[in-house]
A and B are shown apart, each in its own frame.
Chain A
Amino acid sequence: MDLLLGAVVLGVLLGCFYAAVSVGLSVSFGLLDVPHVAHPAFLVLASYGVYQLNESYDIDPLLAGLIITPLFFLFGLLAYRVYYETFERRGSDAGVRGIAFFFGIAFIIEVLIIMQFGVDQRSVTATYIGKSWRFGEFRIPIRQLVAFAVALGLTVLLAVYLSKTFMGRAIRAVAQDEEALRLMGANPVRIKQFAFGIATAVLGIAGALLIIVAPVEPTLDRAYIGRTFCVVVMAGLGSISGTLIAAIILGVAESIVLTMFGASWAPAISFAMLLGVLAVRPQGLLGR
């Protein structure tokens, strides 16, 4: 029983971390319909940025994540503009061509990281990494608690931003009916570009969490591509609160399987759950 309870607690923490690394994709893919398969590569790039600041200036990883956030916002604006000019504007963004564009970006990022940092694993130091809180026999890694708290805050903040602010509502509007927004005099391309910037900026913090939770290496994005897309689709495209719920469900399920049934089954869990959810609710857990 203790083992099961422990698995659930660790699963919730892991799930919130999954939410943090997926929430940007929920905006870019879920709301904007951009086939952003380079999302995990952006995430790994952010974690290397955090690593650089931590290594060179001994800056706390979370603070380093905040520092690179504006840079990632600008990077997101640029990336979307390139994508828009080369694909969306010409109407060739559909299907495999858009995916190929982002795959290309992901490979370029991977190679650039290898050229700059080499292929070895990199990790950061902070007072909360490598320690745990004890509750009797039960121990919780503090880095996971930090990831949990920051991830929860980040997701809630983004959900509030998208539902309460003018720009947030504009982003939701462009996702629902781009043409209607255009008729009202707004520029949907600029709104989408801004939204993509937000989705990328979020990765500054998510990248910090990634390297806090575990060491990173240049090809780590491949490990996250399945999980992040699974969370976003299972949540219901564009639903931020759904992303949090789906990620926690995934984290708890993975943790229970790892603890109780054997680690070999864990990778199958995310996709089995995705198929199950889509079979019952094709629009996802909180999709419309």
Chain B
Amino acid sequence: MKRRTFLGGAMAAAVAGRATGALAQQPPIKIGMSMPQTGGLAGGGKASLLGIEIWRDDINAKGGLLGRKVELIVYDDKSSASETPAIYSKLVDVDKVDLLFAPYATVPTAPIMPFVKQRGLLLMGNFSFQVNSKVGHDMWFNNAPWGPADSWASSFIDLAQKAGGKNMALLAADQEFAQNLALTARDVAKKRNLPVVFDQSYPPNTVEFASIIRALKATKPDIVYVASYPPDSAGILRAVNEIGIGDDVKVFGGGMVGLQFAAVMSNLGSLLNGVVNYNTWLPEQSMYHAGTKEFFEVYTKRAVEAKVDPLGYYLAPYGYATGQMIEAAVNATKSLDQKGLAKYLRENEHKTIVGPIVFAADGEWKESATVQAQFRGVVDKDVEQFRKPGKQVILYPDKLKTGTLISPFEAARK
């Protein structure tokens, strides 16, 4: 080897070594968020966080973003709206995070919207419902398949009207998410001249639903639209099973949060049969995209260790997909500039494990991909049954449809 070649090689090696060292020494990219890890939303929050953590591990295994490791800074917001404003102030001003993810659910997210708008921060939403409708923040991207505000209620009411529903009962939890859902249901009913014969909100911490269901049943509704939160959904279905809901009811369900979680589904078992409820991902062939299968293989293993929802269909793949979108935006813009990232997210279609995502101007998905599915043939105490296709037959949207509605509700329960 010539002396010049040797020196050149040595210098190149030294430069490369210094460069590698410099990359390794670069501070990590910090992504901050609160997540419900205790309280009524914790079941979903933990699963969502695990999805995000799996993305973090994948991206770090690939060398990180912009050559920097990704670090998550996560605080428990206790499922409470009162906790999140202080947590997000801390994330931004004390922890100096580079990017923000929103907590799971509407209630903890709503109070931080004015803050992120005032500071001009990009916020990746996590299954909120209509939290940006009044705030109008242009750097908000809600990774939830709800689509336009009224598509959720209208898809359910469509199914019910086609089954012969002529009037509707509306039962909603007295909190942000359920009230927004109830509001859109009232609007859709009004537009279609569908009489609302029962319209009640129940407070959080309601212990027993038998009295409410008796009152609802007395109005003899054809359609029963329920917007409930996890602690209540099981109580409502139990009361429906015991008190009965009447032979007139064509379709029951719609917006019951909780019936997507393995523990609740397993506990309720056959009580679920016949309920038509929304969902975001189900193990049907039409819902698999590049990377979905691999994600659930990893999730299933890690969920056991983490004592998190063993199925993880509802939130976890969307947590991963949020990471995928940030990854694409950072790689494309080669920066962490929040305005640049927001521009990229707004103007492009994003390929993720939950399918292609395009955002509308309000930061919601441009098209709804919320599934309305009917529980069928569910037996008691068997969580594994939900891993097989056919237990939740997809009725809407048409592109994902795997069966037709069985109505009336009492017939579908048998």
Contact = CB atoms under 8 A, between A and B. Distances in A.
Interface of A: 3, 6-7, 10-11, 14, 110, 114, 118-123, 125, 130-132, 139-144, 213-215, 217-220, 222-223, 254-255, 258-260, 262-264, 266-267
Given A264-B174, A264-B202, A213 B242 contact: no
A219 B40 contact: yes
The 6 closest A-B pairs by CB, nearest first: A119-B42, A120-B263, A263-B202, A258-B211, A141-B242, A223-B205
Interface centre among B39, B210, B242 (most CB of A within 10 A): B210
A219 B201 CA distance: 22
B38 A114 contact: yes
Contacts of B203: 263-264, 266-267
A262 B171 CA distance: 11
Interface residues of B, number: 44
A218 B208 CA distance: 18
Contacts of A266: 202-203, 206
B214 interface: yes
Given A3-B215, A214-B238, A263 B307 contact: no
A214 B214 contact: no
A122 B263 contact: yes
B211 A110 contact: no
Interface of B: 37-40, 42-43, 46, 174, 200-203, 205-208, 210-212, 214-215, 218, 230-231, 234-235, 238-239, 241-244, 258, 261-264, 267, 271, 307-309, 380-381
B232 to A, nearest CB: 9
Given A119-B42, A123-B234, A215-B267, A10 B214 contact: yes
B244 A123 contact: no
Contact of B200 (A222, A255, A264): A264
Contact of A121 (B202, B239, B267): B267
A140 B381 CA distance: 24
B20 to A, nearest CB: 41
Contact of B210 (A131, A141, A260, A267): A141
Nearest to A55: B381
Contacts of B206: 258, 263, 266
Given A144-B208, A266-B202, 10 more contacts: A114-B42, A119-B46, A120-B262, A121-B234, A122-B263, A130-B241, A132-B243, A215-B234, A262-B201, A266-B206
